[in-house]
Amino acid sequence: MRVLIVEDEVDLARALARGLRQEGYAVDVALNGEEGWAKGEINEYDLVILDLNLPDMDGLEVCRRLRERKPELLVLMTGSPAWTGARMIIWSSPSTLRNCWLASGPCCGETCGPGSQSCGPET
């Protein structure tokens, strides 16, 4: 399985990548939204771990662009959405990725924000 991590916090991105690689996943890291979108355009990923709060392009926009190209792409979003103020917790450690994989079906496949903001396929 090939995974793309889009996370602007360098230490967190490195720790996630290291843990996933130890579990046998092929991992690429992008440290901002533009880089994440560019990597998603030229590479095929099975899963994208995407921070909502990126400095140059927010995670919702990255998600929307990636899903335009590959609607079935699984995207696990992390961060604190401004509209809720709540922290989204995807998993406690990389070794639990299998559980997240099983539970990630609707993640970013439907509404990602308030109202009509959607980065998933039209339903």
Bigger pLDDT: 5 vs 112: 5
pLDDT in tens, 58-96: 898 999 999 998 988 898 888 765 555 544 444 433 444
Q: Which secondary-structure segment (H or E) carries 34? A: helix 33-42
* pLDDT, position 82: 56
Residue 66 near residue 37, CB atoms below 8 Å: yes
Structural domains in the chain plus CATH codes:
2-103 (3.40.50.2300)
- How far is the CA of 57 from the CAs of 20, 33, 40, 78, 110, in angstroms? 25, 5, 14, 15, 20
What does the pLDDT read at residue 80?
Answer: 63
Tell me, what's the pLDDT at 81?
A: 58
Question: Does position 101 have pLDDT exceeding 50, yes or no?
Answer: no
Q: The tokens of 34 are what?
A: 């533009």
How many DSSP H helices and E strands does the chain contain? 4, 4
pLDDT beyond 70 at 97: no
Q: What is the pLDDT of residues 24-61, one digit of tens each?
A: 999 999 999 999 999 999 999 999 999 988 989 989 89
Query: Between helices 59-69 and 33-42, what is the axis angle to 10°?
Result: 10
